[in-house]
Amino acid sequence: MLHSVTLDELDTAGCPVHLDSTVAGTLAAAGLVEVRPETGSRYRLFPRGRVGAIRIGDIQVQVTPKEKVGLSRLLFLLGYAHDRAGAMRM
């Protein structure tokens, strides 16, 4: 069964989840979220300043943009980041 977790990019409370240590390590290594151990197989996930989604085994984690960023602003930021990456290669 797929377990889905959605975090806001500015979430400071995190989300508790039950994971095995292999999935927790893989999720932490991916860099989208910080994985903090709590007790036993329970971990707390925190966003790491990136927006995106990842699926490892039967857990899917999504980090969504803060609500104050509208669609037009998000598209502008994506375009700006793309242009900046191209300028850095020159």
Q: What is the pLDDT along the chain (90 residues), one digit of tens a residue?
A: 889 999 999 899 999 999 999 999 999 999 999 999 999 999 999 999 888 999 998 999 999 987 666 777 778 878 877 765 555 554
- Cβ neighbors of 44 (< 8 A, separation 6 or more) are 14, 15, 16, 17, 35, 36, 38
The per-residue b/e assignment along 18-28, b for 16 or more CB within 10 angstroms, e otherwise, is ebeeebbebbb
Per-residue pLDDT at 76:
83
pLDDT of residue 86: 55
Residue carrying structure tokens 């969504």: 64
